[in-house]
Structure 1
Amino acid sequence: MTGRSLCVRPSTAAAGTGSPCKARTDLVSIWSAVEKRIQDDAVAAHPAEFHALQETKGRQLAAARAVLVRG
């Protein structure tokens, strides 16, 4: 396979060849950008819910830090 092929191979033959394929197709950066857009859209669509989650996480982290300080 050459150029911008889709790197399609039987799964047994493809073992260990994922990285070159990912590099040729720019999979990781494309996947990351799409995932970020999906997450940003979800946060923008539900800001109150995500703010509540952020506050809850903050309280949980503060409680965990307090336990660690006490030993």
Structure 2
Amino acid sequence: MPKIHVYGFSKAEDPEYDFHERINLALCDSVTGVEMHRVRLVAPGKWMLCASFTLPESVASAKANYITC
């Protein structure tokens, strides 16, 4: 499966946890083995993060627009 790199932003107290949860919600799957790092502070209390993970097979094999949570 391909390795995915996703960038996002978070104002949460625990930005890594927040971003990981949002990735899980977006993919309708529980993603494991996520490597995450803070890229930079873009505003007071707002982090830009990068998450890297292997795309779950269940997501890769899902039909387009038919992923259900």
TM-score by length of 2: 0.27
Q: Greater strand percent: which structure? A: 2
Answer 1 or 2: higher relative contact order, Cα 8 Å, separation at least 6. Answer: 2
Which of 1 and 2 has greater Rg? 1
TM-score by length of 1: 0.26
